[in-house]
Structure 1
């Protein structure tokens, strides 16, 4: 009996010590990102009753059957999904804010208004050289503002493409690491501490990857994960297929996995792609606006004569917001008078036609509408981002409450397992005392 009591107590001490180790590990990693609370899973050890009593079962102590991770696959998947949506909104909002800054800070709208104001002032005295110079200077400023706006847009697009390229490289690094974790999981013992650590690494890698692109996951019995995005497989077992990025002529980007085109719907890559589409759209509207101004002004120039009575020549040259420039060098060439008018004519009817062409073309209104549309997009996306942030935070809190470490609970467990260890030690001492007493009988 003493021997049985000794072995039972020893098994209890070993189980309590293992539970203490797990509790200490929980406390040490309470603030570690991606750490999931562990608990030692205990089970009773049973043995046959002995010779002549084979059918009898007697309890022979306890043992640690494995290390259990307090993980919830549904909550983890929800964190990945909401985090992916938030990352997409963050990336798109950042790009839209840069677009807004590029258009607003260029001063394009103000330069259009100032150019029209200079034309209006010239109408009061068409032969005044100072007023003519002011119109030419206003045209040059307007062309420069278009150039500045498109250059700033280009810089915003370049930043988005750089970030997308860096994120693609990071996704490839994470995918390679996930493949290695899959291989190690296939060799890890069931319920071992090493396996729990590998599962933590797997979940952390998946969460980071979901911030880059939306992913779908499926898990094997050994914990290995298969990862797909856009219908293409990134990781399967120990195999990894890299993701690539390509830039189109208009600056937009596209992605492929193993040569198969994919279109992320979440993560930073999706946000960058959407923002670059907005950059291309705004660039197109700037080009249309620049070409419209140049066409209206040059057409009016062709219908009139300059101060010296010669046919009017184009003020603007080039195409698009990036190419527009002032070609005229002498303000006397501004065709304020109609065709056939003599030199130094005060007839400003052709100038009136030019102003009417700009007004009917809605040049200032188009520039204002562009600014309004960009600002509205930024405001709307900011509201969406804030809502997604609240949803993602709620999912994160729910996961941490379920899988995180509660120091109060761990402190109670620490005391409970210490007492269990001490009780097992006391039982071993009692068993030893009984055995010694038996040996001393006469």
Structure 2
């Protein structure tokens, strides 16, 4: 009996010691990140049957388990990966939000200053200082476009660097988790399938840190290994094998990194960005495609709109040398990048109608060998036509089926816009056509200053010495250019168009007339044989008609056609960009704060189960100490009883 009592005391002593060791381990790791509280699981030893019944044989330690709740841990992972995505997005978008909306470095003050210079020329067309000021403000505006574009390019370079670094870190974590799977398998096989708690905690912490880089899902195998998946189920770790993940330059843009799975044969399979949400990587990719691309495209859209609209009006004017105007701004070109091409032939893409440009990017794929192609919008994959998006596309004579190209109409426009004119005399402030009522006219009729919409047919208006002459007789006007159709609009009536040649048109006071790209109006009572001249402008030094029209572009709707008509000014397009970036920045910031609260709640719930409570552990120390002392007392009594038995035999 004393021997049995001794053994029972020994089992109690061992159990209490195991409890003390585990409690001490918990206390030592109270500040260890990712540590889960451990506890001893013990049970009674099988009882000994005797004629008097079953007598207990003490206790045994079954295992040491960790306080782990998979549901709560998964909640923490889900909350943290979303928080990290929003947090990354919030930091990155703040850079461009502050820049675009800044009252000193944004585009708005530069646009206002430039059009102020144009208005100054309109007020003083012969003033050389005013003309120089206009050129200087234009150069400042161009510099502002280029500075903003350069800053966005810097942000993009930073994003690409972070994407590459993050993908590299994901690959490192994958290898570490695969190695940890191997260590856990070896440890648990060596330990009679007992859980390797500390190794399991280490692996869970690696998964948690990986989850902050990209959203992951996990599955535990029958052998205890943990498989890790990213995206929509792409395997990253399976058992002890880690998938190779690399950030490689895009075939369409060498400066843009795609995330690729590299197979054993060395082939790279690109994972679509839409599948890589969550975590730092998700935030970087969302920022790049959702805000940075849009900001750079919209800024370029303003540059294209300004250069195209301003040039279109400037070439309709006349400079101080008496020549027609030339391009004032260097027009940006459409960027075309090869996506997947086996041929050297590329399509020629030009701007056609700036009112239809939206700032979107497009993918062109050849469908036959004679230049047939399909055009889709990159953002949503919708099929479009070149004309509907403001472009003209001229395919090569021969093409390869399947060859693809990415068309970036406005991506680089802000960086490439420039000022083409440096000579103040080349500013086309005047209109090339003038009109006048002959001084010998008997009537009170007058003719307005002509407005030029095209210079293609200016020769039809004669020369300075012999301008076009319109003559009134019997209620009709005659003398129109023989090869030009005429459109006239009586006051309050519908327009009437007559095909060339036009002999005469009926005159009514207040009517407007358009012929040969020139329009004007006529009013008043005209007498027979009264004449009016429309011809080249020989006194354009003090003429500011074209400068006035150039200045009007500041408030004229020239962009974003809606219902067939332009709906936005240059300034409003930029304002929409600032507003869109600002709203997105605010949205991301609000989501970040909300997600941070969810992380705190989920972590609190998880730590209430798995965390170490030092007060509780201190109480356990006392409990196990008392149990240890009590078991020692049992052994002491057993020893004394055994001594008494031996004494009886002496």
Q: TM-score category by the smaller chain?
A: over 0.9
Aligned to 1:257: 261
Q: Which residue of 2 aligns with 1:366?
A: 573
Moved more, 307-316 or 347-356: 307-316
**Pairing partner for 2:237 from 231, 235, 238:** 235
CA distance in 2, matches of 1:297, 1:118: 14
Change (3 A) 1:66 1:324: same
Please give the secondary structure, in 2, of the residue aligned with 1:305: coil
Deviation of 1:170 after TM superposition, in Å, equals: 0.9
| Residue 20 (structure 1) aligns with | 20
Q: Which residue of 2 aligns with 1:122?
A: 121
CA deviations over 1:372-416 (Å, ceiling 9, x no partner): 111111111111111111111111111111110011100100000
Unaligned runs of 5+ in 2: 263-267, 333-412, 433-535, 559-568
Tell me the equivalent position of 2:279.
267
1:385 is aligned to 592
Q: Which residue is equivalent to 1:298?
A: 311
CA RMSD of aligned residues (A): 2.0
Partner of 1:88: 85
Q: Pairwise mapping of residues 184-195 of structure 1 onto structure 2 (< 5 A)?
A: 184-189=183-188, 195=196
Aligned to 1:280: 293
Q: Which has the higher contact order (CA 8 A, sep 6+)?
A: 1
Residue 109 (structure 2) aligns with: 110
Whose Rg is larger?
2
Provide, for residues 127-155 of structure 1, a one-character-per-residue CA deviation record: whole Å limited to 9, x for no partner.
11111111101100111111111111111
Distance 1:56 1:264 in 2: 66
Alignment of 1:145-224 (within 5 A): 145-189=144-188, 195-224=196-225
Cα deviation code 1:98-141 (max 9, x no counterpart): 22234335421210111111112222211111111111011001
Name the structure where helix makes up a greater proportion of residues: 1
Counterpart Cα distance in 2 of 1:192 and 1:425: 31
1:289 is displaced (CA, Å) by 1.1
Which of the residues 542, 547, 566 maps onto 1:351? 547
Q: How far off is 1:283 after superposition?
A: 1.2
TM-score (norm 1): 0.94
- State the 1:247 CA deviation: 4.0
Q: TM-score, normalised by structure 2?
A: 0.65
Q: Matched residues in 1 for 2:429 and 2:134: separation?
A: 11
Question: Counterparts of 2:608 and 2:31 in 1: how far apart (Å)?
Answer: 13
Which is worse superposed, 201-210 or 309-318?
309-318
CA distance in 2, matches of 1:93, 1:198: 35
Report if aligned partners of 1:296, 1:358 keep a CA contact under 8 Å in 2: no
Separation of aligned partners in 2, 1:261 and 1:69 = 39
Q: Is the 8 A contact 1:46 1:58 kept in 2?
A: no
Q: How far apart are residue 156 of structure 1 and its match? A: 0.8
Are 1:67 and 1:192, in contact at CA under 8 Å, matched by a contact in 2? no
Q: Deviations over 1:293-349 (max 9, x none)?
A: 111221222111112322222221141111111121112211110114336621111
Q: What CA distance in whole angstroms lies between the structure 1 residues aligned with 2:598 and 2:16?
A: 41
**Does structure 1 residue 312 correspond to structure 2 residue 309?**
no
Q: Which residue of 1 aligns with 2:377?
A: none
Structure-to-structure mapping, 1:386-425, within 5 angstroms? 386-425=593-632
CA-CA distance at 1:72 after TM superposition: 0.3
What CA distance in whole angstroms lies between the structure 2 residues aligned with 1:202 and 1:188? 13
Q: Distance in 2 between matches of 1:146 and 1:170?
A: 36
Query: 2:420 matched to 1:321?
Result: no
The 8 Å contact of residues 45 and 63 in structure 1, kept in 2 or not, is answered as: yes
Query: Which position in structure 1 is the counterpart of 2:246?
Result: 244
The CA deviation string for residues 169-217 of structure 1, in whole angstroms up to 9 with x for no partner, is 1111111111111111212236888700111011101111111111111
Uncovered stretches (5+) of structure 1, i.e. residues with no partner: none
Q: 1:12 to 1:434 in 2, by over 3 A?
A: same
SS in 1 for 2:40: strand
Q: 2:254 matched to 1:225?
A: no
Match in the other structure for 1:376: 583
Q: Which moved more, 1:88-97 or 1:14-23?
A: 88-97
In 2: Cα distance, 1:17 partner to 1:112 partner: 80
Q: CA deviation at 1:359?
A: 2.3
Structure 1 SS opposite 2:277: coil
Deviates more, 1:240-249 or 1:64-73: 240-249
- Number of matched pairs: 439
Separation in structure 1 between the aligned mates of residue 312 and residue 288 of structure 2, nearest angstrom: 34
1:345 & 1:396 partners in 2: Cα distance? 77
Partner of 1:78: 75
